[in-house]
């Protein structure tokens, strides 16, 4: 490329690094132990020992989808993945290598076996345009700045949601709400509850909706669609309290001629099949497929109360599910669930208490989405050399350390 001049050279991955095999690991922990454990699709747990003693790149080895991942600290890799070991760290910045591979579809590199697998020989033969180590440092510093901001926002989101969930637990599980000292406990179908509170079924409190799928044989139901139509994979992929767009959209005729139901923004979607009890709040009008129960909040029961109630009650909800092929909870079963309901003033105070935290979560999610879009636009331009950073005065992480 013209702007690379003589500073970029064409090499193969085999000239730069080796793919080292991971090792079988009999058990690993879910909680935060010392070192992250990676498989072909990302981090899967923690372990007390590491396999690689420094930050590095994990390359998926087996499976239909094989990802590229980066660990900032020493890590362990199981035998479904490789880790990248530079031959000379003076010529290869490991973070630049991560972004270079992130910009390449590793799933194209296949060994041809029955199970899709990354071929080391084919990987080593892949050509790479390699800039100087200083330029590598600069590119990695620019891109990692976005990832650091995203990671920091994710930490803030996690803390805020944990805080709000703690408020819910204190008020509605332990009944330590403001003024609880002056309220005596009385018997109820769900055990002791504060006097003046009640127990009602979900059907008595809110409206619930199911979903549906327009015929995939009719293009007019899908082509050019602008109505958000969620599937459970949208929620599991997002993993967020708020979600503001579905991967697939339908048209008005598709909505009209299916059992999908349009519901207002800031309703609560809950997955009801296979993976049950995953919840998210939609930020725009939407509908879902049949794998959901959607709760429509009202003045009596806020969307935030519903969200934290389902998060707290997920195991109980799952225990009601049945089915031979996959577990499912019906809308009728869900509507029969009993719920402890506070007097309206306490409900309103709770909503006012947690809403600022939840709105900040929503704002941080939007910021992260914008950061991801910007990073993904920059990534191919920087890695290819289309954007030349060689003359930019950038303080790299290597210079700061």
Asked if pLDDT for residue 274 goes beyond 90, the answer is no
Using CB atoms within 10 A of its CB, is residue 219 exposed (0-12), middle (13-18) or buried (19+)?
A: exposed
- My answer on whether 292 and 211 are in the same domain is yes
- My answer on whether 16 and 116 are in the same domain is yes
- My answer on whether 108 and 207 are in the same domain is no
Q: Is residue 46 part of a domain?
A: yes
pTM comes to 0.88
What is the model's pLDDT at position 33? 66
Q: Is residue 139 part of a domain?
A: no
When the pLDDT of each residue in the chain is averaged and rounded to a whole number, the result is 93
Domain count, the chain: 2
- My answer on whether 226 and 106 are in the same domain is no
Asked if pLDDT for residue 3 goes beyond 60, the answer is no
Kindly report the number of other CB atoms within 10 A of residue 250's CB atom. 25
- My answer on whether 118 and 233 are in the same domain is no
Give the integer Cα–Cα distance in Å for 327 and 313: 17
What is the model's pLDDT at position 127? 95
Confidence of residue 366 (pLDDT cuts 50, 70, 90): very high
Residue 201's SS3 state is strand
Asked if pLDDT for residue 387 goes beyond 70, the answer is yes
Q: What distances in angstroms separate CA 26 from CA 29, 120, 193, one per listed residue? A: 11, 25, 45
% residues pLDDT > 90 (the chain)? 85
Q: Name residue 57's beta-bridge partners.
A: 70
What is the model's pLDDT at position 1? 38
What is the model's pLDDT at position 398? 59
State the residue range of the domain holding 120: 8-130
Q: Name residue 271's beta-bridge partners.
A: 292
Question: What CATH number did the domain enclosing 269 receive?
Answer: 3.90.220.20
Q: Name residue 175's beta-bridge partners.
A: none
What are 341-361's pLDDT values in tens digits? 999 999 999 999 999 999 999
What is the model's pLDDT at position 326? 84
Q: Is residue 155 part of a domain?
A: no
| 297: nearest Cα among 212, 355, 380, 245 | 355
What is the model's pLDDT at position 63? 84
Q: Is residue 75 part of a domain?
A: yes
Q: Is residue 152 part of a domain?
A: no
Domain stops at, among 130, 146, 161: 130
Domain stops at, among 108, 130, 152: 130
- My answer on whether 125 and 219 are in the same domain is no
Q: Is residue 376 part of a domain?
A: no
Alpha carbon 214 to its chain's center: 27
Domain stops at, among 130, 159, 182: 130
What are 8-59's pLDDT values in tens digits? 999 999 999 999 999 998 877 766 668 999 999 899 899 989 999 999 999 9
Asked if pLDDT for residue 65 goes beyond 90, the answer is no
- My answer on whether 115 and 202 are in the same domain is no
> Looking at residues 81-94, what average pLDDT do you find?
96
- My answer on whether 116 and 233 are in the same domain is no
Q: Is residue 241 part of a domain?
A: yes
Q: Is residue 171 part of a domain?
A: no
> Looking at residues 272-295, what average pLDDT do you find?
96
């Amino acid at each position: 490329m013209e702007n690379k001049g003589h500073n970029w050279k064409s090499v193969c991955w085999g000239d730069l690094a080796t793919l080292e095999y991971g090792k079988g690991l009999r058990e690993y922990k879910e909680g935060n132990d010392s070192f992250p454990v990676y498989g072909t699709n990302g981090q899967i747990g923690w372990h007390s020992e590491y396999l690689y003693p420094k930050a590095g790149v994990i390359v998926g080895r087996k499976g239909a989808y094989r990802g590229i991942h980066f660990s900032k600290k020493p890590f362990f890799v199981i035998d479904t993945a490789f880790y990248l070991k530079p031959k000379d760290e003076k010529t290869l910045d490991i973070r630049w290598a991560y972004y270079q591979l992130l910009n390449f579809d590793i799933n194209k590199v296949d060994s041809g076996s029955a199970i899709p697998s990354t071929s080391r020989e084919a990987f080593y033969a892949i050509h790479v345009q390699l800039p100087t180590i200083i330029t590598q440092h600069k590119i990695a510093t620019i891109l990692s700045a976005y990832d650091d901001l995203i990671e920091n926002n994710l930490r803030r989101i996690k803390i805020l949601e944990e805080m709000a969930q703690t408020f819910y637990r204190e008020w509605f599980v332990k009944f330590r709400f403001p003024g609880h000292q002056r309220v005596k406990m009385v018997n109820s179908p769900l055990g002791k509850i504060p006097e003046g509170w009640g127990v009602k079924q979900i059907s008595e409190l809110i409206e619930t909706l199911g979903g549906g799928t327009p015929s995939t044989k009719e293009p007019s139901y899908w082509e050019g669609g602008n109505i958000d139509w969620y599937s459970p994979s949208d929620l599991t992929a997002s993993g967020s309290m708020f979600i503001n767009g579905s991967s697939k959209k339908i048209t008005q005729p598709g909505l009209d001629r299916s059992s999908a139901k349009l519901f207002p923004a800031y309703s609560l979607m809950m997955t009801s099949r296979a993976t049950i009890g995953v919840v998210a709040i939609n930020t725009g009008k939407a509908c879902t497929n049949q794998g959901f129960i959607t709760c429509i909040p009202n003045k009596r029961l806020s969307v935030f109360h519903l969200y934290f109630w389902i998060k707290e009650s997920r195991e109980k909800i799952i225990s009601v599910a049945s089915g031979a092929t996959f577990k499912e909870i019906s809308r009728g079963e869900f509507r029969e669930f009993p719920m402890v309901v506070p007097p309206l003033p306490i409900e309103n105070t709770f909503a006012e208490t947690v809403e600022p935290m939840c709105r900040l979560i929503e704002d941080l999610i939007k910021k992260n989405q914008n950061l991801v879009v910007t990073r993904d636009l920059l990534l191919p331009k920087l890695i290819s050399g289309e954007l030349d950073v060689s003359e930019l005065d950038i303080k790299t992480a290597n210079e700061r350390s």
